[in-house]
Amino acid sequence: MTLTDIKHKKLVDWVNEIAKMTTPDNIVICNGSQKQYDELIELQVNSGLCVRLNEEKKPGCVLFDSDPSDVARVEKRTFIAAPTAEEAGPTNNWIDPAELKATMTGLYTGCMKGRTMYVIPFSMGPLGSPISKLGVEITDSAYVVNNMMIMTRVGDKVLELLGTDGEFIPCLHSVGKPLQEGETDGGKWPCAPMDDKYISQFPATREIWSYGSGYGGNALLGKKCLALRIATVIARDEGWLAEHMLILKVTSPEGESKYVTAAFPSACGKTNLAMLIPTIPGWKVQTIGDDIAWMKPGADGRLYAINPEAGFFGVAPGTSAQSNYNALAAASKNTIFTNVALTADKDVWWEGIGYDAPGEVIDWNGNPWTQNKADKSQKPAAHPNSRFTAPAGQCPCIAEEWEDPNGVPVSAILFGGRRPSTIPLVHMARNWNHGVFLGSIVGSEVTAATLDVKAGTIRRDPFAMLPFCGYNMGDYFKHWIEVGAAAPSADVLPKIFYVNWFRKTAEGKWLWPGYGDNSRVLKWVFECCNGTAKTVDTPIGIMPTVDAIDRPEGVTEEDMKALLTVDVDGWLKEVEDIRTNHYPKFGSHLPQELAEMLDTLEASLKASK
């Protein structure tokens, strides 16, 4: 297909406008076919940008190494260019949209010289779903095209859905490295210097402009940029929720299933929970999605969730057969690896994979590397944020409903963070607004001192959405409250829980084993949804009785008491931190309901002393 075959005038005009500005050598329309995917991989193998892996061990897999300056999302170069700074809110970087577009237009001018412009029509969510949204990404990176083909639904069917005048979100991306005549990348990852990197969202006009980075969420614009930053704004305007949440299907031994979403800050076990293997006999957990949930009210008033993505963009280090067998299995074929180590027989290796490096490997910087466990200062062979991009359909525990266009009905929502003390293993909100309060105070404790953060400090990440909310977060809290108020009755709303797998003793010993044993907490959540759980009312919410959760091996009754006791003094310190350091940031945009919840919590804690 060529540009002249596309019947959507607005789309054709936009592509022509961008081509005139960026001056690519040619334009390719991405059709989503396996043939096109394979041709683009072959192009990059031949140019030295990636290595084809061992076909017996990792069939259909390749490995890329990025530039050392381009290894992760860059928060300081990510902007919400709302019409005013107040609309962007205190947690976002704001630049006036007219000023930002002028700056970026200067950078984009001629930026695709010597390169191919790829036009990627894509769907976030199952094709034709009433919850899905369509986008078109223009990019000069074949790496981005291949990743988008895994992470989204790409191709001609999207253009068919768009028809002649369908709505799409325009996403513009360039690596920011034009090539002079005869020049090539020379096998090196193309990107621009850090100060020229921009990941910009324009909420008012529903546009995404990204320049200078070829990596991850900076460049795969369907992911965080569209699925969260722009989608949160659309969801606010249309009355639904776009969230940084996994989606699980939990099935009891009796065959009853419930669907659970969960939001955790980074390094809090989100992917492991998404693909959990239960340790309770007879219980089954399956994956709908590992990262993003779009939840829309159905005709019955319940929230129905889809996973808008089609793949996993997972962190490799720490992923092993023990920690996450299902993720490892999903990435065993047809996968793009980025910034992990390459073994002598062209397999991949990373720290935490579950076995020692097999002799000398090539590290993510392209240098020979031999593991030396005695050298604590040895740099890792795989970058700590190295990734695998794998089709979700390859996951052994993927649920059959994962692509249901109608979504799945959500019974429970979990929030959580990494907290060595104070926060119990699990507690349930008394009602929807109390649950919104719990989501608004999510945080993780900083466990090691850094230059600017004292150890023990709580770093708040409300709803695990701090880097991803596309508008004022105080208004985002209010939107959650409004979604609850719009429900036909409280009974149709999901129950909301706060979990903490990371409690420790004073001596630093883990009180809870986590991983598969978190299924024991899911069982209690399931019972709460059915009204059969053993519970006790406390100042912080509804908690399990000490005997309500099946104890894993090695967890004593005393441990359970510690995990399920309300630390009144710790919670009063929590209240003070929220009141002094957290809620004031939102000023007049903080919903009154949440301020009152904080007052009620404090009064209940003091009354219990």
HSE-CB of 450 using CA atoms within 13 angstroms: 7
Query: CA 421 to CA 511: how far, in whole Å?
Result: 10
In the chain, the amino acid numbered 563 is: L
Rounded to whole angstroms, the Cα distance separating 391 from 220 reads: 15
* Rounded CA separation 394/404 (Å): 17
Q: Which of 44, 6, 14, 309 is nearest to 163 (CA)?
A: 6
- The DSSP bridge pattern shows strands 133-139 and 116-124 to be antiparallel
Helix (H, G, I), strand (E, B) or coil at 50: strand
Tell me which of 50, 268, 397, 469 is the catalytic residue: 268
Q: How many CA atoms lie within 13 A of 436 on its CB side?
A: 26
Residue 157 CA to residue 154 CA, distance in Å, equals: 8
Task: Break the chain down into helix, strand, coil percent, rounded to 5.
Answer: 35, 20, 45
CB 261 within 8 Å of CB 305? yes
How many C-beta neighbours within 10 Å does residue 537 have?
10
Residues 6 or more apart whose CB falls under 8 angstroms from that of 388 comprise 312, 313, 314, 316, 319, 327, 331, 335, 336, 337, 338, 340
Torsion of CA 208, 213, 217, 222, to 10 degrees: 40
Q: Contact at 8 Å (CB) between 405 and 126?
A: yes
268 is known as an active-site residue: yes
The torsion angles phi and psi of 300, rounded to 5 degrees, stand at -90, 5
In 3D space, the residue among 284, 174, 288 whose CA is nearest the CA of residue 221 turns out to be 174
Instruction: Tell me the sheet residues that pair with 543.
Output: 536
3-class secondary-structure state, position 395: coil
CA 136 distance to own-chain centroid? 20
Structure tokens at 53: 């892996």
Alpha carbon distance 482, 496 (integer Å): 16
DSSP category for residue 125: S
Q: Are strands 116-124 and 26-29 parallel, antiparallel or unpaired?
A: parallel
CA-angle at 298, arms to 295 and 304, nearest 5° = 30
Report how far residue 514's alpha carbon sits from residue 522's, in angstroms, rounded to the nearest whole number.
12
Contact predicate 155/312, CB 8 Å: no
Residue 165, amino acid: D
Annotated catalytic residues are 268
